[in-house]
Amino acid sequence: MAVSPNAMVFDIRASIARFVTSPVAVVAAYAATVLIWGTTWLGIKVSLTAIPPIAGSGFRFILAGTVLYAVAAALRVDFRRKAPPLHLVLVLAVTMFGINYALTYLAETHLASGLVAVLFGTLPFFVFGFAHFMVGERATRATIAGALLALAGVAVISAVGNVHGSIWYVLAALAASASSAYANVYLKRYADAEPFATLPPAMLLAGLGLTAWGLLAEHVDIARAVAPSSLAALFYLAVCGSALAFYLNHWLLQRISSGVMGLSALMIPVIAVTVGILFGGETFGIRDILGAALVIAGVTLSLMPARRSEPRTQPQLELRPLPQVQLSGAPGD
């Protein structure tokens, strides 16, 4: 018996809808996000060999925002009905995609990609600090102890580590982490915002601003910028590291507990260091490794209360009720 095209499309949509509401989809999205963000640090280092930091980060978000707009158009997202508040778009453009990435790229001009990832791993402490003042959340003793331990790690890296003579790039990585933390806490108030309506305009605004700044203040060698390795790094950072990863991050925040999501702060630096050593030829001295270990230990300690607070009868990946998935329009998040 022949099957009509409409019936086939319906079956495909039903299968996809069942998959995205399953634990397998959550695990796959979580693993993809951690792996992508664990490898983008080396991607930035590759990009910097051909494109200066400010211009490079600007090109990245122009491309990422354009890709997300194209996907949103294909999914028929109603931008008028789901438009986010203008101030949310501006805050994300300035803090999440602007200051954050400009300083991250700048830090990687003088520090190993894995080391920058470890320093950026202090983000949970900045989140705790901003959350205390912005939404009234109180830090626990374990959080404070973890912050002090991580601070000792940063001091070891800064004072005697293999940072090639300047603490300013260490501070740039920490400032990038703080900027991202502020954006995350601010976004927490609007967790239900449609990502396809929120992320593209914020990325484009940041990308245009950074590109204009970079073209005015930096020398961009067009021949090197369009070399195959440079374009490959740029497309990976924009499409996978920005468009896909930020969408998956937003999707996951609506489906799993913050404690489970916070564990990625431990995994990403480890992946970044490993990738940098294996594929980037990066080296780390004993003091660098000691400092990184202290930072990761501090983050682990700070996240332990959140992990223990989950009821023992609940699995680690706690699926939350989802609205019906409508593939003809915006996804159900």
Point out the least confidently predicted range of 17-31, 82-96, 152-166, 268-282: 152-166
pLDDT at 303: 66
CA distances 33 to 194, 245, 300, Å, are 19, 5, 19
What proportion of the chain, given as a percentage, has pLDDT over 70? Answer: 79
Q: Are 224 and 77 in contact (CB under 8 A)?
A: no
pLDDT at 50: 95
3-state helix, strand, coil in the chain (%, to 5): 75, 0, 25
The most confident of 74-88, 102-116, 147-161, 250-264, by mean pLDDT = 102-116
pTM above 0.75, yes or no: yes
pLDDT at 146: 80
Identify which has the larger pLDDT, 324 or 113.
Answer: 113
pLDDT at 160: 52
pLDDT at 247: 87
Identify which has the larger pLDDT, 321 or 210.
Answer: 210
| Region 41-47 average pLDDT | 95
pLDDT of 203 above 90: yes
Q: Are 78 and 226 in contact (CB under 8 A)?
A: no
pLDDT at 115: 85
Tokens encoding 182: 């502020």
Q: What tens digit of pLDDT does each residue of 71-120 get?
A: 998 888 888 888 889 999 999 999 999 999 999 999 999 988 988 988 89
Q: How confident is the model at residue 129 (pLDDT cuts 50, 70, 90)?
A: confident
Identify which has the larger pLDDT, 205 or 25.
Answer: 205
Point out the least confidently predicted range of 61-75, 107-121, 191-205, 283-297: 283-297
CA distances 299 to 8, 132, 265, 303, Å, are 48, 17, 8, 6
Point out the least confidently predicted range of 76-90, 101-115, 281-295, 315-329: 315-329
Q: Among 266, 221, 278, 209, which Cα is nearest to 42's?
A: 278
Q: d(Cα 325, Cα 120) in Å, to the nearest integer?
A: 35
Identify which has the larger pLDDT, 95 or 304.
Answer: 95
Q: Among 150, 97, 108, which Cα is nearest to 128's?
A: 150
| Region 170-198 average pLDDT | 87
Q: Residue 105 contacts by C-beta under 8 Å, 6 or more apart in sequence?
A: 44, 47, 48, 53, 54, 56, 57
Q: Are 83 and 7 in contact (CB under 8 A)?
A: no
Across 231-265, b (16+ Cβ under 10 Å) vs e yields eebbbbbbbbbbbbbbbbbbbbbebbbebbbbbbb
pLDDT of 3 above 70: no
Q: d(Cα 289, Cα 105) in Å, to the nearest integer?
A: 22
- In degrees and rounded to multiples of 5, residue 136 shows phi and psi of 75, 20
Point out the least confidently predicted range of 134-138, 191-195, 267-271, 272-276: 134-138
Point out the least confidently predicted range of 124-128, 140-144, 303-307: 303-307
Q: Among 93, 150, 163, 157, which Cα is nearest to 121's?
A: 150
Identify which has the larger pLDDT, 170 or 143.
Answer: 170
Q: d(Cα 311, Cα 308) in Å, to the nearest integer?
A: 8
Point out the least confidently predicted range of 20-24, 38-42, 214-218: 20-24
| Region 164-188 average pLDDT | 86
pLDDT at 6: 55
Average pLDDT, the chain: 80
| Region 147-162 average pLDDT | 71
Tokens encoding 54: 């400010």
| Region 33-53 average pLDDT | 94
